[in-house]
Amino acid sequence: MHGDRPNGKAPVSQPSPKRDWMPGFRLQGAARTAAAAAVIGLLVPACSVKKFAVRQVGDALSSGTSVYETDPDIDLVGGALPFSLKFLESLLDVTPRHRGLLVSAAKGFALYSLAYVDMPGEILIEQDFQEGKALRERARRLYLRSLGYSMRALETAYPGIAGEFGQAPEHAARRVQRKHVDLLYWAGAALGLSISTDPTNPALVVRLGEVDAMVGRALELDESWDQGSLHEFLLRLEAARPGAADKARVESSFRRALDLSGGRRAGLYVAYAESFAVPAQDRALFDELLDKALAMDADEFEEYRLLNHLAQRRAQWLRSRTDDLFF
């Protein structure tokens, strides 16, 4: 508390760098936006004022520090996210082509679905098949909603590209430049995850070529993007792919992601356990990887705090299923 210090002042702390997958809210930024909107309101029509204000708020939200990603209470975050996502959509109704808001919506819906709908559906399906299946179907719809926002952002930058991905995905992907790697990643992740909810559905599986094109192009442009997230996603993609996974590719992606991330993400060990150790029926490696994920201090790296807590929750669930996964 401030009163414990001789000069009565709180120490000045230095902000730590954080990734932004969901927007944080800043009072000062909101106050500046309101003041600016009030002044401009004297000069321009009300409709323009509304769009101007929403753009300013959108810029602040999409570039601000996430209060979700750094929160260790994953259930609290899960309860708060739906409101934030609907708030983003209300802003997008006013400025439907705002890149920052589109990226935030794409990331938010994909991660909310993965953590709070899809995984609970996977767990539930073992006890109640119909209820679990219904949750996974909802997860698929949320993933496709995320995909829609990514594709809208790509379409804004590259007119006609959404249709091209359905006809000639490799050609479409080659149009995308490095500054839009994040859009390729979130589009590929959302589509890939939607396929994983029902890998026997031919209408979904046929779109794996689009995912491969998106992730492949992103790797060409910046394979180190977001400290190895592209390589980590390849692990999950191989695990969801029908048939035997490419073991050499999976192992190479794991080693590269581990190097780029510095071992700060528990999810990487969990993904490797699922995509490599289980198909190879290597129980010793499976146990070793889950041990590493669970031994991590989930709060040590603030920018990965929420994701690490979620990964450890999945690791615990996988450990409870060890006897079912290995013969």
pLDDT per position as a tens digit, 257-310: 999 999 899 999 999 999 899 988 999 999 999 999 999 998 888 888 888 999
CB-count exposure of residue 14 (10 Å: 0-12, 13-18, 19+):
exposed
Say if residue 190's pLDDT is above 90. Answer: yes
Q: Which of 53-67, 194-208, 221-235 has the lowest mean pLDDT?
A: 53-67
202 and 159: one domain?
yes
| Calpha distance 30→164 (Å, rounded) | 39
- Please state the rounded mean pLDDT for residues 87-110: 91
Residues 179 and 196 in one domain: yes
Domain boundary among 220, 243, 275: 220
Per-residue confidence at 240, pLDDT binned at 50, 70, 90? Answer: low
Give the ranges where the chain is alpha helix by DSSP (H): 27-41, 46-63, 74-94, 99-113, 119-124, 129-157, 161-167, 169-174, 181-196, 202-205, 208-222, 229-240, 247-261, 266-272, 283-295, 305-320, 322-325
Is the model's pLDDT at 62 over the cut of 70?
A: no
Within a domain: 175: yes
Number of domains in the chain: 2
Report if residue 165 sits inside a domain: yes
**124: pLDDT confidence band, cut at 50, 70 and 90?**
very high
Confidence of residue 25 (pLDDT cuts 50, 70, 90): very low
Predicted TM-score of the model (pTM): 0.80
**Could you tell me what percent of the chain has a pLDDT over 70?**
77
CATH number at residue 143: 1.25.40.920
Q: Could you tell me if 202 and 251 lie in one domain?
A: no
Question: Whole-angstrom Cα distance, residue 5 to residue 254?
Answer: 48
Chain-centre distance of CA 177, in angstroms? Answer: 20
Q: Is 70 part of a structural domain of the chain?
A: no
Q: Which range marks the domain in which residue 169 is found?
A: 110-220
Residue 40: inside a domain: no
265 and 291 inside one domain: yes
Kindly tell me if the per-residue pLDDT of 15 is higher than 50.
no
Domain match, 203 and 216 both? yes
Q: Distance (Å, rounded) from C-alpha 246 to C-alpha 237?
A: 11
Structure confidence at residue 265 (pLDDT)? 92
